[in-house]
Every structure is written in C-alpha cells, then in structure tokens.
C-alpha cells in the first residue's frame, strides 16, 4: 500500500483533482481530434446542435444557451455562415437583432458531429461498463452542479 502524502508526486496521482484533470486532458484531446475531422471545433457543435434542437435564435440567446462569450459567438457564427451551415436574418420583431438558423447542411453536420461525439464518448469510457458510465455521469453532474451553483 502506498502511504505517500497527497502532496507528493506519488500521492498526488491518486487524488480526485489530479485524476479529473488528467481525464479531462484526454477527453479534450479525443474530442478535438474527432471534431477536427469535420474541420470544426466544440463551440461550432454546441451552436449547431442548439439550433437543430431548439430552432432559430438570436446570437445573444445562442451565446447564453451555449455558454459562449458574445464575441466568440459572432466569430463562430461567421465561420458557420461562411461554410453554409447557418444563415443570419434580421429579426422581424427587432430589426437591430439577427436571428440565426441552421441550414439543411448545418442540421446534417450537427448530426454527423453528434455521431462523432458518441464515438469519442465510447472511446474515452471504453474501460467502464454501462452501469459504471451512468454512475460516473451522475457523479460528475453532481460535482458540476455543486460548483457552478446550479
């Protein structure tokens, strides 16, 4: 049995913070590699998936729903619009505001990216049983809710 103190290198490797950080690093790498095949990033997927699930929305509303800073939303929408995955149109209720909609190509891309995300999840969680995956998800959700104040 290793009696190393948590502050030592050996003890550190068994702490939840270190384990979560290392797992997050692997998850980020796998996700980035998976989405790179689409020549897109995670925030592009969040925007497309939100539009596909909830329908058209203002840029500001999309940013809030996706947890993306307003200036980053504009850049991401510009990227997606340049690829023909979303369109901007003036809001009929307020011409100063744009409403963003996914195109058919954007909805298709969201589905393809969703399938990639499922493959990434399967790869990341491969050593866990279905029950363990559900348990891990519940525990991580509880931690996140606690620390984000929700």
Q: What is the pLDDT of residues 20-72, one digit of tens each?
A: 999 999 999 999 999 999 999 999 999 999 999 999 999 889 999 998 998 89
Q: Which domains does the chain have, with CATH numbers?
A: 27-122 (1.10.10.10)
84-132 residue pLDDT tens: 999 999 988 888 888 999 999 999 999 999 999 999 999 999 999 999 9
From 61, 44, 62, 67, select the one nearest 117 (Cα to Cα). Answer: 44
Residue 136 bridge partners (DSSP): none
Starting at the edge strand found earlier in the chain, the sheet holding 86-91 runs: 57-58, 94-102, 86-91
Confidence of residue 1 (pLDDT cuts 50, 70, 90): very low
On whether the CB atoms of residues 101 and 51 are closer than 8 A, the answer is yes
pLDDT of residue 96: 83
pLDDT of residue 8: 63
């Amino acid at each position: 049995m290793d009696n190393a103190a948590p502050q030592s290198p050996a003890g550190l490797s068994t702490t939840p913070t270190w384990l979560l950080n290392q797992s997050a690093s692997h998850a980020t790498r796998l996700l980035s590699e998976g989405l790179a095949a689409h020549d897109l990033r995670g925030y592009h997927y969040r925007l497309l998936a939100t539009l596909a699930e909830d329908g058209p929305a203002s840029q500001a509303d999309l940013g809030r729903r996706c947890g993306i800073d307003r200036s980053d939303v504009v850049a991401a929408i510009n990227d997606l619009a340049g690829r023909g995955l979303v369109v901007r149109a003036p809001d009929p209720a307020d011409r100063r505001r744009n409403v963003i909609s996914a195109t058919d190509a954007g909805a298709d891309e969201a589905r393809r990216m969703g399938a990639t995300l499922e493959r990434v999840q399967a790869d990341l969680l491969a050593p866990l049983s279905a029950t363990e995956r559900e348990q891990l998800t519940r525990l991580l959700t509880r931690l996140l809710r606690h620390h984000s104040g929700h």
